[in-house]
Structure 1
């Protein structure tokens, strides 16, 4: 698969709420917290959901305590379940299929995330053998998005994630190694290994963090203003309230829209092409 095709696939994974039956407002469990002012059981419609599946308070979500709603992003899983898996039939039209739809939605969300990661990895300059394995995995994952509800519910997602993670790690290491080799002096990969590090609230303003491995890292409320984050692996990192104002994330790896929605930034933050600038960021 060529880079442009892979890039197109990655950029196409965006939520279109107009084609979804409000699945994020119904299928998911919500616990009252700083992100939500209510408790809501999975499979129960939010009190703010309109009959046309739009939100009564969409423009006031943060003001009314529903910060979590402005962070959530399904990467297009909602419309896939609504229009492909269930062929345009809403949970309001059939309560039995509705129950199954609510179970399928989080599964499709995970598949779309894996598709996004695999497609992104294929946009990098990586060896042909690795590209071939990733291309094969991507086609397999894309095929899964077209399965019927029963087959989706029977999937072993842990197995699929495990096999994909190895490929993503290899792709990340290739890109990070090339960036490290361009830095002055002889540098070892281990110097850039911060997997699962706990840097909550850490002051990193203006630092050169290129090629850092932040897989699974806790970067909650970290000050990362004006940092260079080229070839940084952010897969699974917790970026809630991390401040990326003025930071360069344009060549960072494996960022998701939800991660950026949960973080802070401004008009000077440089984002990858597939990430939309969150509306609640500072102008």
Structure 2
């Protein structure tokens, strides 16, 4: 799956606990406390490790187990700031924390581009994707000042044009393999932004369906076939994916997998890790 390097995997041991400081926490079912952006979480240790890492969900911090930075934390820590942490240089903290979401967007784009490059059917777009990847990688190695001035949203919109081409090619291949419904009726394959919260789609054939930005919160898609489905931006919080086939879902991320409720029978791409709570 995604043609990528280890740079796109979170390595908390090489990060200065940036997500534990830079992000805002709102007391809810995901977080046990309110915390302002820029304020360290009380569970953050002096070594930048989490004091309750092994029991985050039990302590009311389920949101922490879902979050994934695509390796942005260690890039900002070790590359942009050359391994000098915000405790050693307090004057760097504000800029360092502000850069985390910027770098996360860049690494997320690299993840999607890598997925496109791994798809043989998207070969007509590979040259374009390689150019995009080279451009983004160069940006990630820029100075803190260059990164903070970046029009990240503008870049994202531009890159999305290439990703849409990938989506059309991948979904087209999978959708072509799906037989028509009885009576010759076509399936509905465009569910972009659809409200599927709590929907009952167990065992559904969703191959090649466009689920971009769809709300699958608490939806039952257990046993469903989502190969070739474009799930970029889809919300999988508490979605039941037990026994579902996500092995070739397009643009699937670690965050989406972390947010879902799977089991040992859930098939996922090799590029993402199976959450421990899913079992084996």
| TM value normalised by structure 1 | 0.94
Structure 2 unmatched ranges of 5 or more: none
Aligned equivalent of 1:148: 143
Deviation at 1:184, TM superposition (A): 2.9
Per-residue deviation, residues 252-282 of structure 1 (Å, max 9, x unmatched):
0101101111111001111101110012224
Residues 217-232 of structure 1 aligned to structure 2 (within 5 Å): 217-232=214-229
Show the counterpart of 2:208. Answer: 211
Query: Which residue number corresponds to residue 54 of structure 1?
Result: 49
Alignment of 1:190-269 (within 5 A): 191-269=188-266
- Give the 3 Å change call, closer, same or farther, for CA 96–188 of structure 1 in structure 2: farther
> Which has the higher mean CA deviation after the structures are superposed, 120-129 or 27-36?
120-129
TM alignment of 1:92-171, pairs within 5 A: 92-126=87-121, 128-171=123-166
What is the CA-CA distance between 1:132 and the residue it aligns to? 1.2
> Greater CA deviation, 120-129 or 161-170?
120-129
Structure 1 residue aligned with 2:270: 273
Question: Which residue, 77, 83, 88 being the options, matches 1:88?
Answer: 83
Distance of aligned partners of 1:169 and 1:72 in 2 relative to their CA distance in 1, 3 Å threshold: same
Could you say what secondary structure the match of 1:70 adopts? Answer: helix
Structure 2 equivalent of residue 13 of structure 1: 8
Q: Secondary structure at the match of 1:232?
A: coil
Q: Distance in 2 between matches of 1:190 and 1:112?
A: 34
Contact 1:199 1:218 (8 Å CA) reproduced: yes
Aligned length: 278
TM-score (norm 2): 0.95
CA RMSD in angstroms comes to 1.8
What residue in structure 1 maps to residue 21 of structure 2?
Answer: 26
User: CA offsets, 1:57-94, max 9 Å, x none?
Assistant: 11111001001111111111110000000000000011
Contact 1:229/1:248 (<8 A) preserved? yes
Q: Deviations over 1:219-264 (max 9, x none)?
A: 0000011111110110000110001101111010101101111111
Q: Secondary structure at the match of 1:105?
A: helix
The answer on whether the counterparts of 1:210 and 1:228 sit within 8 Å (CA) in structure 2 is yes
Q: Structure 2 vs 1, CA of residues 35 and 223 (structure 1 numbering), >3 Å: closer, same or farther?
A: same
Residue of structure 2 in register with 1:77 after alignment: 72
